[in-house]
């Protein structure tokens, strides 16, 4: 009872811990999105410089990632050559910088609720780009699901009260670049056996992002910031905002490490609904019934997509376990055959067969009929039966070795003096 109770307590503790990680991730993701909206929106903090904000995030996160890896040894860095870094990490950094730049820019033009609705297109973009780059196989039912998600998002966009074409283009561009980045991670890193967690990703990718973002920043935002004499760097606002962004990466590291990436995807759906509710109730963004209907349709498609991924993952795990079981069974069977071989050709032993098969050759000195016990569990005429018979013939030959010549049978009654028996028993006759 005590043992069962402790097991239940352990399971309950793990469940509560998993939900805690999910709640922390939802809270931090929610906070970063709303905080970015607050800073960039012209009606709120009114600092419409998305490239600068992204560069502040990358500088802060890269610095902390270097400290965690090099100084505090929180995680081990990945072994990576200069060639792999330039050909794999740098392109991913370029895609990531474009994704962050465009997604942050969209907050200037679109409501938080509508941005979350547009983000529902992410599975569609990932699957489509995966098919184009031959990382995903085309399936008609999956494509039908992708179309249903797209239709739902289209309906939500049709019902948007604050529709802005440029803002939609920016957000769709961000989705496209992010989806391409995710697929390229599989092609350029995962296929080479390189796996990056959120901390090591910041360590390697953030400096690249900073370098790429500095190019448009010099031409687009730096001249405006230079002319703005009233601008001053608010350490409290930008410091806490950057800290939340880094904490979000830590939360992703813990959530994926303790649960799975699929759990984060499912939790992301919950987060999106919370953001829509917050945007409508607190920020006072307009959410129309057509918005909700369209996003509800897209939500069902995304939920089905996640369910299909979960089932595929379970099937893959079951297949892997079955393969491991087959390999283990083959290994044990091989060891059993080795034991039998040693028993057959080595010193005579009773009960050498692993299944307990035993044959007694009862030779009557007066020439009476031979009685042979059935070889239980061994097919008649099989090599296993032949081995067992020869072994016991050898035993009987030794046992009657001192008997009178006339009392011995003229041949081995099991082998019947055939060619194979003569070779295996050593003689065609037991007469010495």
Q: Is residue 171 within 8 Å of residue 307, measured between CB atoms?
A: no
> Measured between alpha carbons, how far is 42 from 212 in angstroms, rounded to an integer?
26
**Residue 371: is its pLDDT beyond 60?**
no
Average pLDDT of the residues in 368-385: 47
Average pLDDT of the residues in 143-164: 94
Length of the chain, in residues: 432
pLDDT at 345: 47
> For a pLDDT cut of 70, what percent of the chain falls above it?
74
pLDDT band at 288 (very low <50, low <70, confident <90, very high): very high
pLDDT digits (tens, 9 = 90+) for 191-223: 888 888 888 999 999 999 999 999 999 999 999
pLDDT at 220: 94
**Residue 84: is its pLDDT beyond 70?**
yes
179: left (phi over 0), alpha (psi -120 to 50) or beta: alpha
Bridge partner residues of 362 (DSSP): 371
- What dihedral do alpha carbons 181, 183, 185, 187 form, nearest 10°? -140
pLDDT at 417: 47
pLDDT at 79: 85
Tell me which residue of 115, 92, 119 sits closest to 105, measured CA to CA. Answer: 115
Q: Rounded mean pLDDT of the chain?
A: 79
**Residue 425: is its pLDDT beyond 80?**
no
Average pLDDT of the residues in 24-34: 94
pLDDT digits (tens, 9 = 90+) for 35-80: 999 999 988 998 999 999 999 999 999 999 999 999 998 888 888 8
Among 17-26, 50-59, 244-253, top mean pLDDT goes to 50-59
Q: What is the pTM of this model?
A: 0.71
pLDDT at 373: 46
pLDDT at 410: 47
> For a pLDDT cut of 90, what percent of the chain falls above it?
47
Among 231-245, 329-343, 352-366, top mean pLDDT goes to 231-245
């Amino acid at each position: 009872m005590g043992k069962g109770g402790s097991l239940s307590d352990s399971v309950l503790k793990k469940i509560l811990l998993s939900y805690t990680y999910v709640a922390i991730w939802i809270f931090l993701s929610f906070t970063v999105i709303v905080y970015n909206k607050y800073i960039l929106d012209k009606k709120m903090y009114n600092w419409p410089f998305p490239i600068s904000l992204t560069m502040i995030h990358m500088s802060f996160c890269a610095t902390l990632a270097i400290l965690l890896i090099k100084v505090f040894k929180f995680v081990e860095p990945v072994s990576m050559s200069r060639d792999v870094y330039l050909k794999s990490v740098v392109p991913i950094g370029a895609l990531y910088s474009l994704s962050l730049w465009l997604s942050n820019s969209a907050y200037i033009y679109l409501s938080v609720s509508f941005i979350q609705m547009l983000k529902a297109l992410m599975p569609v973009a990932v699957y489509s780009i995966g098919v184009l780059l031959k990382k995903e196989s085309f399936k008609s039912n999956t494509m039908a699901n992708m179309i249903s998600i797209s239709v739902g998002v289209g309906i939500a966009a049709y019902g948007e009260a604050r529709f802005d074409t440029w803002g939609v283009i920016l957000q769709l561009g961000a989705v496209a670049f992010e989806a391409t980045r995710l697929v390229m991670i599989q092609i350029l890193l995962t296929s080479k056996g390189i796996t990056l967690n959120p901390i090591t990703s910041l360590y390697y990718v953030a400096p690249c992002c900073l370098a790429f973002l500095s190019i448009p920043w010099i031409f687009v935002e730096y001249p405006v910031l230079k002319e703005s004499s009233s601008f001053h760097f608010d350490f409290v606002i930008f410091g806490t905002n950057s800290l939340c962004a880094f904490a979000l990466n830590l939360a992703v590291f813990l959530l994926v490490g303790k649960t799975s990436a699929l759990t984060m995807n499912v939790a992301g759906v919950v987060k999106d609904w919370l953001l829509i509710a917050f945007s409508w109730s607190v920020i006072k963004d307009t959410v129309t019934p057509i918005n909700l209907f369209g996003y509800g349709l897209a939500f069902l498609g995304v939920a089905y997509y996640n369910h299909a991924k979960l089932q595929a993952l379970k099937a893959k795990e079951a297949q892997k376990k079955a393969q491991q079981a087959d390999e283990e069974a083959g290994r044990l069977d091989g060891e059993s055959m080795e034991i039998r071989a040693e028993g057959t050709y080595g010193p005579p032993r009773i009960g050498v067969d692993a299944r307990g098969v035993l044959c007694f050759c009862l030779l009557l000195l007066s020439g009476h009929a031979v009685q042979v016990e059935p070889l239980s569990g061994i097919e008649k005429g099989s090599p296993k039966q032949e081995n067992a018979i020869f072994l016991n013939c050898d035993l009987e030959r030794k046992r009657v070795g001192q008997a009178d010549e006339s009392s011995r049978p003229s041949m081995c009654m099991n082998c019947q003096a055939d060619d194979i028996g003569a070779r295996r028993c050593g003689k065609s006759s037991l007469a010495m």
